A and B are shown apart, each in its own frame.
Chain A
Amino acid sequence: MKAVILGGTSGMGRAIARRLAERGDSVFLLGTSEASLAKSAADLGARHPRGERASFAVCDLEQPEQFAAALDAADAALGAFDTVVLSAAMFATQDALEADVDLARRLTTVNYAHSIVFCEHARKRLLARGGGCLAVFASVAGDRGRKPVAIYGSSKAGLASYLEALDHKFSGAGLSVVCIKPGFVKTPMTASLKPPPFAGDADRVAEDVVRAIDRRAPIVYTPRIWALVMLVIRWLPRFVMRRIAF
């Protein structure tokens, strides 16, 4: 496998990059900090069975004008990638987003609009070479409009809807789309929050995601218990949703 990972220096993206490198896949990292990318590249090199050091390029999900050049750099380094993972995103609590509408605009733009732009660049390249895999992090927060994640969740809901349509439209052409829906996972992004029950860790999520990529699964809930939790929540009637804080 030749994989490009945007967000591969931290959290779940980092854990996925490691799992791939450890089994001998080639990885190209995209991220915002050159220093952090270089350190992660060395880490992946030490983990790779043949010592293959990952290459990298700076690419910020807030800067869509960087996307095409970043993917070109990945193609040049890997020799035509076959897998693209998008794990980067913004997160903020509902309180913070309500207090600052500009933050809300930024977050929804990055998580929805820019993520779609990145996926469009990636899927066009994959389709041009006969297909491949596009694995993107949505969230269980997008499965139902809920009070504590009204804004963040809606950005992920929009992204999930796009991914579903992408699967419908291009699976025949060889593009497999994996929509990843993590529940609460203990990562640097959520380090300031108190973990709820069923909180997962990044490495377990990575194991599930890599399996889903290998099997071309269209949707993966991880940790898997969240599939059940969200099934229940999707069926709760409105009068209940209005009352509970969840």
Chain B
Amino acid sequence: MLEGWGRIGAPGREDLATDLESLTMGAALSRGLGRSYGDSSLPAREDDRVAATRLADRILSFDPSTGILRAKAGLSLDALNRVFVPRGWFPPVTPGTKFVTLGGMVASDVHGKNHHVEGCFGAHVRALRMRLADDSVVECSPSEHEDLFFGTVGGMGLLGHVLEVELAMHRIPSPWIVMQRERVRGIDELVEALARAARVWPMTMGWLDASARGSALGRGVLMAGRWAAPDEAPRTPPRAPAERTLPFDFPSWALNPLTARAFNAAFYWAHLDARDERVVAPDPFFYPLDKILHWNRAYGARGFTQYQCVLPRAAGVEAVRALLERLAEFACASPLCVVKDCGPEGRGTLSFPLEGTSIAVDLAMSPDTERIVAALNAIVIAARGRVYLTKDRFTRAEHFRAMEPRLDAFFALRDKYDPARRLRSAQSVRLFGDRA
């Protein structure tokens, strides 16, 4: 049994090996650390070979004069940060967890708190070495086999196995972050505050209380940050974060609408000052949930899914409000909801973000989950937004097609590079009609 982060599994097993070149021969899918929430990293069939990349984690080269790093696809962000933060380097884009591999970051074209400034991870990738469906190995980049390159960025591993990733790391002035937090009282204020902060801060995001209703709908906390200058930062490096682990499943009733509301209210009111600013370590800023390993067990054995969509700027705050109202109606347990002001769409053929507001919310599994996702998708389709495949498990194929005018371009790439559809996942069966 293999599981996504939402703990809804599919029969299958992964093959682990250090040598990615031989491991990916004839494999149907690559899988990194299994942090995609839904079925992106799950096999279409039990006997499909899944190449687990995480032991293939060597750094091949690093040039300290330019910051250009080349590594095997299984290198984790956790390992990368441990080596390079003390030396004054940070990846140009990081998602909200460090337990992801470079290959996974490419396949999902991950975005982070700095999307409005730096775009997605793929915008900083200089080259990829790939194993294609016909078992040939090619190098691609924005100037060489560029259709393959941009199709792979955000392509969920369906055009080929990523073997090596070359990216440009960013210089950081210190290993500390200046963080500002501001309590906001409602959704209009939050969207406005995110837009305002984006003009000043290189990193922004909002946490909102998805259980609040009425005039408190969309109340939350805006977080903005930037790397601290050496004279603002403590002279010592941050201590390695203490990791705790959830050693067992919570009972499924532990997270219910009542406890979620209590948690949200506590989180909102914990920020007593309307605004505060302080210097914090990168880990609690970028990866607040990583300090509890296996936090997905908090949802119990039933599992959960995350719903993440982006609503274009043109749809206005009304679309955001409509989505939040619908969420509040469903009263589905969801301790925290993350909002991000995204910048322009990237060049990845199926890359998720577009200019507008991204909303991500956890939904505990229930018999209604499919219905809830379909209802939320209806709002997203009307607003001309889209959902994030990395989180998705329940979107229907026709809904995804309605959201995704770029789908035909992606299919054309698959026809060119994998006409027999040897590369596939449970997700590609569900959404793209691949045979199981």
Contacts and interface: CB of A to CB of B under 8 A. Distances in A.
25 contacts: A22-B83, A39-B58, A39-B60, A40-B58, A42-B58, A42-B59, A42-B60, A43-B58, A43-B59, A43-B60, A46-B59, A46-B60, A46-B62, A46-B69, A46-B83, A47-B59, A47-B83, A49-B87, A51-B64, A188-B16, A188-B55, A191-B16, A191-B17, A191-B55, A203-B79
Nearest to A47: B83
Nearest to A40: B58
Contacts of B60: 39, 42-43, 46
Nearest to B58: A43
Interface in B50-67: 55, 58-62, 64
Contacts of A22: 82-83
Interface residues of B, number: 16
B18 interface: yes
Given A46-B83, A47-B83, A191-B16, 6 more contacts: A39-B58, A39-B60, A42-B59, A46-B60, A188-B16, A191-B55
Interface of A: 10, 22, 39-40, 42-43, 46-47, 49, 51, 187-188, 191, 203
Nearest to A190: B16
Interface of A is mostly: helix
Contacts of A47: 59, 83
Nearest to B83: A47
B108 to A, nearest CB: 23
A188 B58 CA distance: 14
A42 B61 contact: yes
A166 B60 CA distance: 39
Interface string B72-93: 0000000100110011000000
A49 B84 CA distance: 9
Nearest 9 CB-CB pairings of A with B = A46-B62, A46-B59, A191-B16, A43-B58, A43-B59, A47-B83, A188-B18, A22-B83, A39-B58
Contacts of A43: 58-60
Contacts of B17: 188, 191
Contacts of B82: 22
Most chain B beta carbons < 10 A, residue from A22, A40, A43: A43
B68 to A, nearest CB: 11
Contacts of A46: 59-62, 69, 83
Contacts of A203: 79
A187 B69 CA distance: 25
Contacts of B16: 188, 191
B156 to A, nearest CB: 25
Contacts of A39: 58, 60
A158 B82 CA distance: 37
B57 to A, nearest CB: 9
A46 B71 CA distance: 10
A203 B58 CA distance: 13
A187 B57 CA distance: 12
A46 B70 CA distance: 10
Contacts of A51: 62, 64
A188 B17 CA distance: 6
Contacts of A187: 55
Contacts of B59: 42-43, 46-47
Contacts of B69: 46
Contacts of A42: 58-61
A187 B17 CA distance: 9
